[in-house]
Chain A
Amino acid sequence: MDTTNISSSPIHTASYSDAVVDSGVSPVDAGPKRRRTDFHLDGAPPPPPPPPRLLDYEPIIGQAVLDELRYLAEALQGKSVKMVNSTAMGGGVAEMLNSLVPLIVELGVVTHWDVITGDNDFFEITKAFHNALHGGEYHLTRKTQEIFLQTNEQNRKRMQFDEDVIVIHDPQPAAMIDGRDARDSKWVWRCHIDLSNPNPEVWSFLKPMVERFDAAIFSSQSFAQRLSVPQYLFYPCIDALSEKNKEIDESYIQQICDDYGIDRSRPVVTQISRFDRLKDPLGVVKAYQMAKKYVDLQLVLAGGSASDDPEGAQVLAEVEDAAANDPDIFILNLPPWSGLQINALQRASTIIVQKSLREGFGLTVTEALWKSKPTVASAVGGIPNQVIHKLTGVLVHSVEGCAYQIRYLLTHPDHARQLGKNGHEHVKENFLMTTNVKRWLLLLRFLLKAKGK
């Protein structure tokens, strides 16, 4: 096979078998002239699109599954829920609630969403708590405890808790449990963070509050703690109709690739992640370089802006150094509202990599699987829940393993295709927003002992 012909052909989708480098022809020499530098999308964030309605999901999950949600909700008509978290915009929790709340409301459950307020001191403390609960060092002083409890108390006085179920998201508003009174309402703590190795001081402070709830929810079995209350497993999920995950026109995918100079006639391996050491972008570059000795490929590293993160900027600079002058490496530093571009880059990819050293759940993996992409990912955090080795993707433990799996998948297209197909079905069954709605309805039914007709 002549790679010169491939690179000049008008084919837009890279063929797996095209990945094998023909002897004597350098893919770098043979390919078209491509830009390789940082790309920035400028401008202000666009207004968010209106949230989807239940019926919009029917083509994705089918009418029968949608009917199941309606039957589940029948027993909950007129019941009410309050969600409380610490931010209305930005961050995964707010993003999830923005999709979840309208769907639960549409199903007949009256749902209110309140956001706590606090000053800089409070949010500095809760940020430190967040890091400490991930295992970081932290010394909890009496002063920090007072600020935390006082701010929770102020918010508690500001809010009414008349609903049947109160859901408190994450540690920031955890002390709102003090608002629990003699009424028969049920209180749930939804923990979105990795609690597998919490700082003992901070966890000892929070644990008595958590044990006053009726139930706790975690994102992975490994995040759960020994608690006296029932613990439930709610996997994080993606919204199949969001900008980042919805079906998009092939022409748009091509346009994005053209804008960045990505050649779709050759394989594209992509990691979508912010430039953070824990995402190991340098390891990805090394794996790409090792694989490139055997197969022709391009590497796309696309991630969030590093402007507010000094270490992120340093990591980005190191990645650029490691990429050197390789015209087949594309480092894309994108703003947070680039969901549609990320979607296009994922769909343009032949393989998606997530070579994290540590990970929460790893929703970028969920996104890749949803797009039926063969996925090579580290066996860390919640990733093994999603990538079942050799069934829905491949798990790796090293740079060398990552390089080998990239080579293997690029040269075994049928196997890669089957992994992608299984991965898509896995997400459809377990990690979509509609599955999350089902989990919430089930939990509400169990808590309220609501029976169907």
Chain B
Amino acid sequence: MNESANLDQREAKKPFYFNTSASLLRIGQEKATTLSELLHALHTCSSDSIFQHTFRTLQEHHFIREGFSNDFAHWAFSACNEPGLAERLASLDVREYTDVGDIRQKIEEIVAGYIEANPASGERRSREPFYFCASETVVLPTPFVAHSMQQFVEDLSRVSLHSIHHHFIEARLRLKLNSNDFSQWLQEEDLPEAAAKLNRIDIYTATLEDVRRQIILVVKRALV
């Protein structure tokens, strides 16, 4: 029997429209060959650049469960051989931020603090430069519109991972809330516990496909 046959069949108060997004990478003018240069460029680069190296890179590397959280952490580890800095940068959870400016400020703080504590590291040349890039993004519709919980679960399993990333991870910049589109919708559909549980899914120790499965599981459990 189809598992979703047990799900709540009621109509949604408001349909959920699945969208997705697509990005083009623009190569920026800034590059860094030392941590000090990185710090300077972090201050001057565009917000689109911070967005690319934190939010978008998660989508581009959605299949990795460990050791990859953002491009700055990866560069600090692999090109600068600064594991202490890499760990601190990697601990940054983009979902705690609803504004790219705040993420920029936090990254600057981490790098500046590290250079202050380790002055010799500031001017040491990296093995590879860090090239700042930026995303130009368009939001696209999809054919998936959920009019019921059952349809929501079915659509979740069929939309692209880009759509999951768009609604679950990038959404907070749009919503300006520490939440995501799925949780917002579930909240409005009187499923506050499921909405809260989604926000506790760890996106940094799971692939995006794992995240999709966990979202589906949370919603299914809330309905049976």
Chain A bound to chain B: yes
Nearest-Cβ distance from residue A109 to partner chain B, whole angstroms: 16
Given A391-B68, A438-B22, A446-B24, also A422-B63 (CB < 8 A):
yes
* Cβ contact within 8 Å between A72 and B140: yes
Given A72-B140, A446-B136, also A222-B67 (CB < 8 A):
no
* Cβ contact within 8 Å between B138 and A430: no
Q: Determine if A226 is an interface residue (Cβ-Cβ < 8 Å).
A: yes
- The 0/1 profile, CB within 8 Å of A marked 1, for residues 131-144 of chain B is 10100101011110
Cβ–Cβ < 8 Å partners of B25 in chain A: 232-233
Nearest-Cβ distance from residue B170 to partner chain A, whole angstroms: 15
Nearest-Cβ distance from residue A252 to partner chain B, whole angstroms: 29
Across the interface, name the chain A residue whose C-beta is closest to B130: A221
Given A221-B27, A438-B22, also A452-B160 (CB < 8 A):
no
Could you tell me which residues of chain B, from 119 to 158, have a CB within 8 Å of some CB in chain A? 127-129, 131, 133, 136, 138, 140-143, 158
**What is the total number of residues of chain B having a CB less than 8 Å from a CB of chain A?**
36
* Cβ contact within 8 Å between A430 and B60: yes
Across the interface, name the chain B residue whose C-beta is closest to A429: B60
Nearest-Cβ distance from residue B34 to partner chain A, whole angstroms: 17
Given A62-B160, A388-B68, also A71-B24 (CB < 8 A):
no
Please pick, from B22, B61, B158, the residue contacting A72 in the complex, using a CB distance under 8 A: B22
Nearest-Cβ distance from residue B46 to partner chain A, whole angstroms: 12
Given A429-B60, A446-B136, A452-B138, also A232-B26 (CB < 8 A):
yes
Given A64-B142, A67-B143, A68-B160, also A442-B22 (CB < 8 A):
yes
Could you tell me which residues of chain B, from 82 to 115, have a CB within 8 Å of some CB in chain A? none
- Within the assembled complex, what's the spacing in Å between the Cα atoms of A209 and B175? 44
* Cβ contact within 8 Å between A65 and B140: no
* Cβ contact within 8 Å between B163 and A442: no
Q: Determine if B220 is an interface residue (Cβ-Cβ < 8 Å).
A: no
Cβ–Cβ < 8 Å partners of A439 in chain B: 24
* Cβ contact within 8 Å between B163 and A422: no
Please pick, from A64, A65, A224, A422, the residue contacting B64 in the complex, using a CB distance under 8 A: A422
Given A62-B160, A65-B160, A221-B133, also A390-B140 (CB < 8 A):
no
- Within the assembled complex, what's the spacing in Å between the Cα atoms of A11 and B141? 50
Q: Determine if A230 is an interface residue (Cβ-Cβ < 8 Å).
A: yes
Q: Determine if A4 is an interface residue (Cβ-Cβ < 8 Å).
A: no
Cβ–Cβ < 8 Å partners of A421 in chain B: 63
Cβ–Cβ < 8 Å partners of A67 in chain B: 142-143, 160
Nearest-Cβ distance from residue B217 to partner chain A, whole angstroms: 20
Q: Determine if B162 is an interface residue (Cβ-Cβ < 8 Å).
A: yes
- The 0/1 profile, CB within 8 Å of B marked 1, for residues 35-74 of chain A is 0000000000000000000000000001111011001100
* Cβ contact within 8 Å between B128 and A384: yes
Cβ–Cβ < 8 Å partners of A144 in chain B: none
Given A68-B22, A224-B27, also A445-B133 (CB < 8 A):
no
Please pick, from A222, A232, A443, the residue contacting B131 in the complex, using a CB distance under 8 A: A222
Could you tell me which residues of chain A, from 408 to 453, have a CB within 8 Å of some CB in chain B? 421-422, 425-426, 429-430, 438-439, 442-443, 445-446, 452
Q: Determine if A180 is an interface residue (Cβ-Cβ < 8 Å).
A: no
* Cβ contact within 8 Å between B60 and A442: no
- Within the assembled complex, what's the spacing in Å between the Cα atoms of A392 and B131? 21
- Within the assembled complex, what's the spacing in Å between the Cα atoms of A261 and B36? 56
Would you give 5 A-B contacts (Cβ < 8 Å), ordered by A? A64-B20, A64-B160, A429-B63, A442-B24, A442-B136
Residues of A within 8 A of B (CB): 62-65, 67-68, 71-72, 218, 221-222, 224, 226, 230-233, 379, 384, 388-392, 421-422, 425-426, 429-430, 438-439, 442-443, 445-446, 452
Q: Give me the 9 closest cross-chain CB pairs, A-B, nearest first.
A: A425-B63, A221-B131, A64-B160, A233-B25, A442-B24, A231-B27, A71-B140, A224-B27, A65-B160
16 other A-B residue contacts (CB within 8 Å) besides A67-B143, A429-B59: A64-B142, A67-B160, A68-B142, A71-B141, A71-B142, A72-B22, A72-B140, A222-B129, A233-B133, A392-B64, A422-B64, A425-B63, A426-B63, A429-B62, A438-B22, A442-B22
